[in-house]
Amino acid sequence: MSSSAGLRDVIAGTTSICTLDGLKGELFYGGIPIQELAENATFEEVAYLLWYGRLPKRDELNALQAELRSCAVIPEAVLSMMRSFPASAKPMDALRTVVSALGMWDPDADDNSAEANRRKAVRLTAQIPTIITAFNHLRNGREPIAPRADLSVAGNFLFTLTGQEPSNVATRTMDVALILHADHEFNASTFSARVTIATLSDMYSAITSAIGTLSGPLHGGANEAVFRMLEEVGTVDNVEPYVHGILGQKGGRVMGFGHAVYKTKDPRAFELQKMAKALAEESGNPHLYQISTKIEELMLREKNINPNVDFYSATVYHVLGIPTDLFTPVFAASRVTGWTAHVMEQLANNRIIRPRGEYVGPVDQHYVPIDER
């Protein structure tokens, strides 16, 4: 029996949802290159693609958009529970708790049929953005803003966050960011969702597991760490001494660089970099983008390490006006489409996930009575 630390390069199952090529730096949803989806699709189209394995026809897309809008409001009982959260609560902790609680108000909660799980996937995709922005208002002593029936998922997130109708540029930027984060094969949070649902638990338990996994700084939490790093760097002139200082430390790590699978630049980083540049030019405040490109240049030259999806997403989210500690929850608002797709795929051909561990402890041990130890 062989082992692999972190299950690196171990094939743990089959999927038709998403695939990637780490050597070539390619990513596909349902066989479609991520670049084509980022340039042409909407987030709602991508959600349909992940759930059904194909792009929707116009009437199917219209129906999904209407269903998402109708489900975006949080149940009043859940909102009342959120009012009791301490203002100091971490957003990912709040999101994890609320998603778990939502299952108690969902009439389909214990129904694991394909159709019931599809309805739950829609509800979760519609409600998680509302949960995030509602929590942000409540912790700041404000009342949540209700989502509008005429906006997309991306548009409603920005509207309920700020109370102002977002520009077309901001909405499209948010839409593409959601597309880029929607799925990524058997990443840590997706795998935890599949492990949970494989026991025949329920959709809400699986997504709660995924949110808990995503919150770690080595997974979704990295984008928050990237922005804090950019703030600490401060200026382009400080990039080299700052990065050299980190790299000179034992175990020092520049956040937003390197990937468990990609050996070249993360294909999502290309798209996010383009958006970061466009937003920097539009806002007339290019310093974060300039710092970022300088860090990328230095890391490539000295370590031959490429940026991952977290690196430029931090700048994009900041320029859109999203508070730093909401970066990872926004990741969840996108990835829930992939998580729910994988939950449904796992249940369609289920077998409980139960790997073995390679034992490296002592052998030939025997019990010793307590008075003889």
- State the catalytic residues: 259, 310
Name residue, tokens 């998922």: 153
Helix 309-319, helix 222-233: angle, nearest 10: 70
With CA atoms as reference, report the closest residue to 169 among 74, 293, 275: 275
Q: Residue 27: helix, strand or coil by DSSP? A: strand
Cβ neighbors of 4 (< 8 A, separation 6 or more) are: 10
With contact defined as beta carbons under 8 Å apart, do 99 and 120 qualify?
Answer: no
SS3 content of the chain, % helix, strand, coil (to 5): 60, 5, 35
With CA atoms as reference, report the closest residue to 163 among 147, 178, 149: 147
Counting beta carbons within 10 angstroms of the beta carbon of residue 145, is it exposed (0 to 12), middle (13 to 18) or buried (19 or more)?
Answer: middle
Other CB atoms closer than 10 Å to residue 54's CB: what's the count? 12
Name beta bridge partners: 163.
none
Name beta bridge partners: 28.
19, 33
Name beta bridge partners: 257.
307
**Can you say how many angstroms the Cα of residue 343 is from the centroid of all Cα atoms in its chain?**
16
Angstrom distance (rounded) from CA 371 to CA 373: 6
**How far does the chain reach from its first CA to its final CA, in angstroms?**
35
Beta strand 26-29 with 18-21 is antiparallel
Q: Tokens standing for 358?
A: 């390679």
Angstrom distance (rounded) from CA 59 to CA 47: 15
Angstrom distance (rounded) from CA 314 to CA 211: 19
